[in-house]
Chain A
Amino acid sequence: MIKKTFDELKLTGNLPSPPGVGMRILKLTQGEDFSAEEIGQAIMADPALTGRLLKIANSAAAGGASAVTTVSEATMRLGVRAVRNVALGLSLVSNYRQGACSAFQYDRYWSMSLARAVAAQAISRATRIGTPAEAYVLGLLADIGSLALACVHPEDYARLLGAAGTQRMALRRAERQSFEIDHAEVGAYMLEEWGLPSTFTEAVLAYEEPRNAKDGAGRRAGLTQVLALASGLAEACLTTESSENVDWAGLARALEELRERLGLHEAQFNEFCNGVIREWIEWGATLKVPAQRGIELARIGEFAARAGSASAPSHLVAPSVPVAPQAPAATPAAQGLRVLAVDDDPTSLKLLEHLLVRSGHVVSVARDGTAALQLALEANPQVVIADWLMPGMDGLELCRALRRIEAGRDIFFLLLTGRVEEDRVVEAFDAGVDDFVTKPFNPRILLARLKGGQRVIELKQQVESERSTVRNQVAELGQLTRKLRTAAMTDVLTELPNRRYALKKLEQEWDSSVRNDRPLSVIMVDVDHFKQVNDTHGHGIGDLVLRETAGVLRDHSRLGEEPTRLGGEEFLVICPNTNLQQARACAERLRVAVAAHEMRGGAYAGRITVSLGVAARGPEAKSIDALIKGADEAVYAAKSAGRNQVSCLGESVSAPQARSA
């Protein structure tokens, strides 16, 4: 179901995607057989990307190795796969620097991603987990799902970010409520689509989860651990003494955890962190991403102590400086246009400027075509009025150059010309000129032509705004469809996915487990003595028991384990990528949790127990039906053996006392 939700997000066409070179590399490497030369050529087409790749190849070296200076050397050092992934990740950074989601801090997003990338690289180097280059890419892209949600649902996501606060797991819950999918899941799917390794997607799904769950679970390993540690350090890098809403204790804990994992003394650890910060700032300059030294990391503990002892220290309650939403500079006059006037004759330029300013337009001026082109890129004018004959780049060349670039396509281009001969007029319109005015210009005629231009510009704006409305409606419609489908797939009483969903999901998971040769298990959960509860306390309490049981199953399932309600007092937990032994452990965890949970409602207060049957795909369960039937049989065995216990298909039931907590 989540996969489907992701496909719908993709259909909006608004998901971030790598531009130009990145896309070429992606296409080149979709199959298994691609050569180092092909990738090298694609990368070298972009000199900036080449430089950044070499920087990674060199900083990934464990030291002592000689510097690599060419893409093919980098490929030899890092491997083709890694080079491909690095190039892909880096190509994304150049885009998506701003967007429509008002509450999404695009600058901070990239700054944080970059800090996480550099930190992951350093941690990978120090712990020898993964390779530094791939850790860098993972760190860079770990939160890409948030950016994606901001791109696809700018307004809804802005509202959600405003309400959900900064706690990542709370944010994920809120996202799931609004979009049926959360940023980690979106991110994981995107990385999967881009062909990044499954260790990446697993890490992205898991690294934000709280670590110290009560039952000692959540032990992170491999890249997930690297990413989680890097994330903590990155957070600390972006924190300043005046940052608001800082969880100082959490930051201090994260740093301490990292220090312990690296096995460093205070001083060594400080040196390590400072190295990361230096690299972050250096990369920031390279990629033009903001990166500034924040709080002295050694002082975070001190802040944490203070925050713990009193309410927030007064200096931490910064005056509420609004987090600058990067609004485009407003044009003063309501109807004023941004006009760029270009003429090599200063008197004409002065006259033009005077006329335009007096008519309420915002004017910038240039004395030749080359300067005008530069200015057009900076000032983003809606109208360009240019003289034809100018030294260097003349008016027509300027027009052609503007029409070739994205930003210049919609500019209304008014050409000033002394001569109106038919051939020349045709040449001008061929070059992309919208209209012309003869020189010396009559002010009234010039302004009249400009009015025509203004109408065209307003129409274009209207079309653009309608198009974006339609885009939003498509996204909203998708959201509604998802809600409806979710409703059809959700059990009304317990709000768990229903039987229909369970069977469909099981089908998908079965196929994928066969295809990828991965284990698949299910756990059948049956409430003990449910009929008795119903008969003794009435249906109301029976419903309460089912709701509460569902809640316990939901709260104690880990990511990937999916509890559903099959009907009656029967639940099914689907556990992809899980073998029988692991599923048994999961079942045991759920059994203990249900037994420990006190259910209260009205006059009723009590505990109930469940019997659980586990079955895994294998010789004893060669089809979906056999799998469910096997789990059913195991439940029956557990019931016969005295209830409140776990039994597995193909294993004789052991004594209940042996396993009970």
Chain B
Amino acid sequence: MSVSLPNPGSPAPSERPAIDAAALDALRELGGRDEPGLLRELIAIYLEDAPQRLAEIRSALERGDLELLERASHTLKSSSANIGARTLSDCCQRIEATARRRKSEGLDELCAAAEAHWNAVASALREVRA
């Protein structure tokens, strides 16, 4: 299967929100009365950490380091899922799966899509935090 679209996480980001509102509600609820700032704190941690993972993904791709690519996408997949960034998480999962098979086919496109998703996620999260 060849991937032609730059945004392979289908449906397209415009049709599916960057952040799953229900996931955010669950996190808000999880914080509860004990730790009302939990969600804000998680968002802050994520906004700080995710760019580092993306940078790793980028450099791994440039160097053809599929092992690093697998690990970095794995981590970003987890954290994105935690924060409700489903589309980005799914995209990372596909990068991880491809890299694990030590294949590089389609990785360029997938990574570009991840960058695009990330931009949407970041601005959505900044709104939530504001």
Contact = CB atoms under 8 A, between A and B. Distances in A.
Contacts of A350: 38, 41-42, 45
Interface residues of A, number: 19
A391 B71 contact: yes
Contact of B49 (A345, A355, A387): A345
A440 B86 CA distance: 11
A344 B75 contact: yes
Interface residues of B, number: 21
A418 B82 contact: no
A455 interface: no
A354 interface: yes
B74 A389 contact: yes
B71 A347 contact: no
A347 B77 contact: no
Given A389-B74, A440-B81, A440-B82, A347 B38 contact: no
A418 B74 contact: yes
Contacts of A389: 70-71, 74-75
Contact of B45 (A344, A346, A355, A443): A346
Interface stretch (B8-16, B29-37, B111-119): B29-37
A354 B30 contact: yes
B98 interface: no
B78 A345 contact: yes
B35 A347 contact: no
Contacts, number: 53
A523 B63 CA distance: 95
Q: Which of A345, A351, A355 has the most B CB atoms < 10 Å from its CB?
A: A345
Contacts of A345: 49, 75, 78-79, 82
A347 B40 CA distance: 11
A439 interface: yes
Interface of A: 343-348, 350-351, 354-355, 358, 387, 389-391, 418, 439-440, 443
A354 B42 CA distance: 11
A17 B11 CA distance: 70
A346 to B, nearest CB: 5
Contacts of B46: 346-347
Nearest to B50: A347
The majority secondary structure among interface residues of chain B is: helix
Interface string B78-101: 110111000000000000000000
A348 B34 contact: no
B49 A347 contact: yes
Nearest to B77: A418
A393 to B, nearest CB: 13
Contacts of B74: 389, 418
Given A347-B83, A389-B71, A440 B42 contact: no
Contacts of B41: 350
B34 A358 contact: yes
A348 B79 contact: yes
A474 B31 CA distance: 52
Closest 9 CB pairs of A and B: A347-B79, A440-B81, A347-B82, A345-B78, A345-B79, A345-B75, A346-B45, A346-B49, A389-B74
A354 B79 contact: no
A648 B48 CA distance: 97
A504 B11 CA distance: 96
Nearest to A391: B71
Given A391-B71, A440-B81, A347 B34 contact: no
Contacts of A391: 71
Contact of A443 (B30, B34, B71, B75): B30
Contact of A354 (B35, B71, B83): B35
B97 to A, nearest CB: 9
Contacts of B81: 439-440
B72 to A, nearest CB: 9
6 contacts: A345-B75, A348-B78, A351-B42, A355-B30, A358-B35, A389-B70
